[in-house]
Amino acid sequence: MKKSKVSRRDFLAKSAMGAGAAAALGAVPTAAAAADSAPGMPAIRLADEFVKSHSEEPIAFEFGEKGLSGAEVFARACKAEGLAALFCCPGNYTVINSISAAGIPAFGGRIEDIMCAAADGFSRITGEVAATSGTEGPGFTNMIMSIASADRAHSPILVLASNMAMSNEDRIGGIQQMYQQPITEGIKKYGKRITIPNRVHEYAAHAFRQLKSGVPGPVHLDFASEVSGARFKDASELKDFYEKSRYRTESVAYPAAKDIATAVEMIQKAERPMIVAGQGVFFHKGWDALKRLADKNEVAVVESGPVRGHFGDEHRLSGNLAADALGSVDLVIFVGQYLMPNVGEYRFNPDVKAIRIHPVPEDLGRNWPLDLGIVSNEKAALEALADALPKRQRAAWVAELAAARKKFEDQNDEYYALGLKYSQQTGTIHPAVTGKVMADFLYRGSIPKEQTTYVQGGWTGAGYTRRWMRAYRPGQFNNAPYQFYPIGPDVGHLLGAGAAMQLGTGPQKAYQGSPVFGFTGDAGIAYSIMEFDTLTKYKIPAIMTVHNNNAWGMITAANTVRSAHMYLFQENLRYDKIAEALGARGEYVTTPDQYKAALQRAYDAAARDKVATLINVQSSRQFLTNAFPPGAQPRNIEPGVTAYSH
Amino acid sequence: MIRGFLFALALGILGGVGFRAASPAADDRVPYSAASVARGKTLFLQNCQDCHGEDGKAQGSAIAVAPDLTRPEVWKYGQTDDQIFSNIRNGAGDNMPPFGPLGPGLKDAQIWDLVNFVRSIGPESKRPKS
């Protein structure tokens, strides 16, 4: 191997030639790598070209002497629509190159599926459209898990993938050819293989109309090479080349006056009404109206869905921690609950009166019988209700909510005490302790509790940590595996969250630059650990705790001795060392005190040097069994902080 | 390491023993009735369907390999009412979690409603007369 002759001083001098955004990225070897590289061995470092590529000015794609390619026409439309970010792996070259050249923030990673999850994670906590892209067959098929997950979360992500030339259809010539659209059937809101070059702008319009209207969801476009590579001298060569103000509308559905009157009557008749505020309240920015309504008439609010924080956990009317109060609710109002639970999956009385507010009528009445369905944009309906409802106090209901919250917190303390005992007995860390230590650090220490955006991944450990992690402002909490429950793409979601914080997108603007935190399991980390390279490359200050219990979470399904080996990993694996090998920091802890100290070191490195850290928390799979009650199933019910399936 | 693990496991098992509850008092029992079965169904949907399925047949397997509650002959931890009650309240084996004080906190009367619901979806020959 040829030894590097680039000293740290030379590297810094060279990288100083970069300018603008390059300076923000900081052309230095990663902190961990710089400290650990052995004498004579080359240090992990960013390529000079990486730094330079961020110093080039964006291109405003306009028709000139050279005209525009199909890919450039598409990138122009994306820029005009405010596409917030692109997360991709190479492939679909002309399109991703054009999007990046247009000045849309782009992040290149290692695994298509995880970059797709990053787009989903970005979109969930910002409410903005993010794109993802990969190469034709393998890159695209690698994305499927995260496309499906985004579909269940109703995230407005734009899935792009190059595809074979039309001239090669049905020939299987060359490599990587396949038909994409049938594969995303059932896991997208809209999709199209674009085959007619002069309709590329028209289909960009189709895509953004779907992404920005009604109920959000993934849109999948694949480009025949004849489309992305076509050239157009001027706009007259393109079909339906309108600007966005003419191809879609910002108008939304407003509630009918009679529906609001009926809803007001039902709310007034109820003693213990509760709003289930799903992700639609966040995506359509209805949080101020929601608070106004709740405060005015003392209607309780419980959050559910893939993103939380639009009402917050500490509000006196919050039902997020008030599990025992859910059974008392006599009127439930679903607002922006895009994926409806079945009766029983939410802890309300199955006979509870129910109102649902939804942007389109087609889904009203699905899964849960309704007494009133209202077609309306969430924010518009919440504002109308807040205006129409009288002031009212519901002292008994507020007291019941407070008592239920206390009971929940008391049970958390019980679980923590048990977890601490189990941790001391085993020399490992119980997930109830992990949750408590992390929550103390983020919400009860020196960091403002509203600051940190958190990604909740994992499975068995998450059953405990969800109980501890909080949301105090919109977009603070991403319930990463929500509903589809893919194990693994959690580092992707963390990358998406970190990119949103770095860019200060949407409601994350107030906390721009802050480190992000996440939690995953040892099964999950294997799927996405390589993106620590991406986190490090883009200097995203992210801290991921890995609950390492040496097994798949579903070890509990191994019902014979003979089958157990299939569920087990090697014990005490050092995921922290992998992170270090990728230029990030690694920590390995086996006691609560070690974990607490590791969190502080990780935060300091993140805040100071923009370095990512993986904290490998050694736990035990025995905590999943009834030998350590409550085992794998602490008291978790939905909706609220412990929800994950709806 | 193996030694340490076995020690830890032993501690865990001993530690767990203290949470096992005695059999329920006979006078806590809720008689089998349509009303009890209806209450039990609600509790079942709220607490049990993730693993045992909406109909108790455990045909989905994403979360756990759970027994079909309509077929007592495949149950591993007993078929009597008291055994079903205990399994729900305190857990059973390594993997059936407790739903009593250390689980979702169901009251004994609620657990009896669940027992009655489980009976209602099982073979008629094992169903109490209401």
- Assess whether pLDDT exceeds 60 at residue A26: no
Buried b (16+ CB within 10 A) or exposed e, A429-464: bbbbbbbbbbbebbbeeebebbbbbbbbbbbbbbbb
Instruction: Give domain B38-130's CATH number out of 1.10.10.60, 1.10.760.10, 2.60.120.1440, 1.20.810.10.
Output: 1.10.760.10
For residue B91, which residues of chain A lie inside 8 Å, CB to CB?
626, 629, 631
- Assess whether pLDDT exceeds 50 at residue A530: yes
- Contact criterion met (CB below 8 Å) for A350 and B40: no
**pLDDT: which is higher, A235 or B54:** A235
- Contact criterion met (CB below 8 Å) for A620 and A428: yes
For residue B15, which residues of chain A lie inside 8 Å, CB to CB?
421-422, 425, 627-628
For residue B54, which residues of chain A lie inside 8 Å, CB to CB?
342, 344
Instruction: Estimate the crossing angle of helix A395-426 against helix B2-17, to 10 degrees.
Output: 140
Query: What pLDDT sits at residue A40?
Result: 82
Q: Once rounded to an integer, what is the mean pLDDT over residues B23-51?
A: 83
Query: What pLDDT sits at residue A344?
Result: 84
- For A210-214, A290-294, A476-480, B61-65, which range has the lowest pLDDT when averaged over its residues? B61-65
d(CA A579, CA B91): 39
| Å between A575 CA and nearest CA of chain B | 19
Q: Which amino acid is at A494?
A: L
Q: Once rounded to an integer, what is the mean pLDDT over residues A532-552?
A: 97
- Assess whether pLDDT exceeds 80 at residue A166: yes
CB pairs < 8 Å spanning A and B: 98
User: In the block, which residue shows the tokens 């084996």?
Assistant: B93
> pLDDT digits over A129-164, tens only?
999 999 989 999 999 999 999 999 999 999 998 877
CA B127 to the chain's CA centroid? 17
Closest-CA residue to A596 (of A463, A435, A417, A472): A435
Interchain proximity A637–B104, CB inside 8 Å: yes
Within an 8 Å CB–CB cutoff, is residue A554 touching chain B?
yes
> pLDDT digits over A387-437, tens only?
999 999 999 999 999 999 999 999 999 999 999 999 999 999 999 999 999
User: Which pLDDT band, with edges at 50, 70 and 90, does A20 fall under?
Assistant: very low
Q: Which CATH architecture has domain A257-399?
A: 3-Layer(aba) Sandwich (3.40)
- Contact criterion met (CB below 8 Å) for A513 and A90: no
- How many residues does the structure list for chain A? 646
d(CA A86, CA A418): 44
| Domain parsing of chain B, residue ranges | 38-130
User: Which pLDDT band, with edges at 50, 70 and 90, does B47 fall under?
Assistant: confident
Interchain proximity A622–B8, CB inside 8 Å: yes
Query: What pLDDT sits at residue A76?
Result: 98
Which residues make beta-bridge pairs with A108?
A88
Q: Once rounded to an integer, what is the mean pLDDT over residues A360-387?
A: 97
Within an 8 Å CB–CB cutoff, is residue A423 touching chain B?
no
**H or E element, residue A576:** helix A575-581
Query: What pLDDT sits at residue B130?
Result: 67
User: In the block, which residue shows the tokens 């005015």?
Assistant: A296
| Domain parsing of chain A, residue ranges | 8-53, 68-247, 257-399, 427-624
Q: Once rounded to an integer, what is the mean pLDDT over residues A520-546?
A: 98
Q: Helix (H, G, I), strand (E, B), or coil: what is residue A357?
A: strand
Token reading at A332? 């439930």
- Assess whether pLDDT exceeds 80 at residue B21: no
For residue A368, which residues of chain B lie inside 8 Å, CB to CB?
none
Closest-CA residue to A161 (of A105, A232, A210, A112): A112
A487 CB neighbour count, 10 Å cutoff: 20
d(CA A37, CA A7): 12
Interchain proximity B12–A425, CB inside 8 Å: yes
Q: Helix (H, G, I), strand (E, B), or coil: what is residue A389?
A: coil
The DSSP call for residue A571 is T
Q: Once rounded to an integer, what is the mean pLDDT over residues B34-62?
A: 87
Token reading at A219? 């849109």
Q: Helix (H, G, I), strand (E, B), or coil: what is residue A190?
A: strand
Q: Which value, to the nearest 10 degrees, does the dihedral of the CA atoms of residues A200, A201, A206, A209 take?
A: 150
Q: Helix (H, G, I), strand (E, B), or coil: what is residue A391?
A: coil
Within an 8 Å CB–CB cutoff, is residue B53 touching chain A?
no
Closest-CA residue to A461 (of A547, A555, A565): A547
**pLDDT: which is higher, B20 or B17:** B20
d(CA A137, CA A163): 8
> pLDDT digits over A257-267, tens only?
999 999 999 99
Interchain proximity B105–A345, CB inside 8 Å: no
State the first-to-last Cα distance of chain B, in angstroms, to the nearest integer: 56
Query: What pLDDT sits at residue B45?
Result: 85
Q: Once rounded to an integer, what is the mean pLDDT over residues B58-81?
A: 85
Interchain proximity B97–A622, CB inside 8 Å: no
| Å between B19 CA and nearest CA of chain A | 8
Closest-CA residue to A640 (of A412, A347, A292, A338): A347
| Å between B64 CA and nearest CA of chain A | 6
pTM value?
0.90
Within an 8 Å CB–CB cutoff, is residue B33 touching chain A?
no
User: Which pLDDT band, with edges at 50, 70 and 90, does A171 fall under?
Assistant: confident
Within an 8 Å CB–CB cutoff, is residue A268 touching chain B?
no
For residue A622, which residues of chain B lie inside 8 Å, CB to CB?
8-9, 12
Residues 71-110 of B with CB under 8 A from A: 91-98, 102-105
Q: Which amino acid is at A139?
A: G
Of A345, A625, A635, the CB nearest to B95: A625
CATH class, A68-247 region: alpha beta
Q: Helix (H, G, I), strand (E, B), or coil: what is residue A613?
A: strand
Residues in CB range of A288: below 8 A, 6 or more apart: none
Interchain proximity A631–B97, CB inside 8 Å: yes
Query: What pLDDT sits at residue A21?
Result: 41
Of A622, A632, A637, the CB nearest to B12: A622
Tell me the longest C-alpha to C-alpha distance in chain B: 56
Query: What pLDDT sits at residue A178?
Result: 85
Q: Which CATH architecture has domain A427-624?
A: 3-Layer(aba) Sandwich (3.40)
d(CA A592, CA A605): 20
Interchain proximity B8–A635, CB inside 8 Å: no
Token reading at B27? 């006078």
